[in-house]
Structure 1
């Protein structure tokens, strides 16, 4: 065919290749839209500004029906986290610069101790009952024969001082594993006679078994000191734990990895 032909050098294989390129580009665009349903549009962490109409890369809201009668949610919902940040930037003009806590970092919810505002209801398994409960509530569950039973073991903080005694084990009935240790901190003289012992939960992922003197097995927690056990966020009920309470309890121990002692926040060299 002569000069100017628009089909003379095009065959089926070439057309197929172009169609694939167009399809693949559209697939990437679609996937990038769908993975931005939560946490988008991004905002400048210095000025707080964000693109309020990101029409190209943000999907239209989709409604999800939650199980067990927990209603519905729609994402993206364009809601912003309006909680004040309890810290000050070391380099105020630069996004992503480090922040210095402006209070007790163990309780501020900043840095490694930050937490998300999850629903204040228990995580549920297939029958709607709470997944994570103490063994005293979990019928048919017990420590497997041959495994260590931490109940009755003494528990120590990173200062190697006694914090309390493990009173109970909390299990995930769906995953069939230990999630938390319930620790009895005892009572102090200032609480008065007859005061009930306070109990807190310690995530099992922050616990290790160690051998003490006399071949006694104890639980060691590197994240916090023995005194800081008293500051672990309390639960509304000692028969179950909500998703929000899980966030706060775990965040407290996460904060301890950096803020439990002054030297942890300092450089190594």
Structure 2
């Protein structure tokens, strides 16, 4: 430790340059990056720390409330390294004006939004909605179209982006959402913005390989909370459902216009039906397989 570093570690009031280079770790002790800058609001309060993730990694903003200060190091009090990876990159050349801050809070409510109630701080239970590629045993019908790459349009006929993937509920064996890669000109943050759209509000047009979203315009869809991959965060799902419900006088499209991508059932993927109880003579048809003939009657010893 140099003399300057020793003096900084004993100082009660630190300068910005004293903090640059401090390591930031998560609660498990994994290093997530180093401090590269401090961002101060017009009220004079430190709002964010800019944290550089590795030599070639991006810079992200971490709210100062999420950090515990130590001796020339900081520790996140809740977020893990995997959570920090979900943060949008920070561009130091662009000012954090009110619109950008509002978009951060809207797109990433778990990280930048107002304080959440206790029951929303953590994901509860086993993940239910997952990308199709991660759903074990899930199969689409053979004649179902592959929606990846289809163009997505909003209620105003403006282009939103393209379909990246489908999100499914393996327990219900149903496609629940489209993962939409949003066009860059519809938002201000410099991230690879994805949002999810409920299938019941989507109309598929196979001839043009288009997916038309009802109720919300293109910019309203782009303003939905960001989907950052993996199992769908219940908080994000709740905000998406609220957005469509607020703008819709009816819960969904009429059934004849809804996109239908129900998968085929499989005995391997679904739990087998319970075995029926047999009668003493076992001479009635098997109810599980009504097309099969009834079993042959038992033979007695006298028949041989």
Tell me the TM-score normalized by structure 1. 0.44
Tell me the TM-score normalized by structure 2. 0.39
**Quick one: higher RCO (CA 8 Å, sep 6+), 1 or 2?**
1
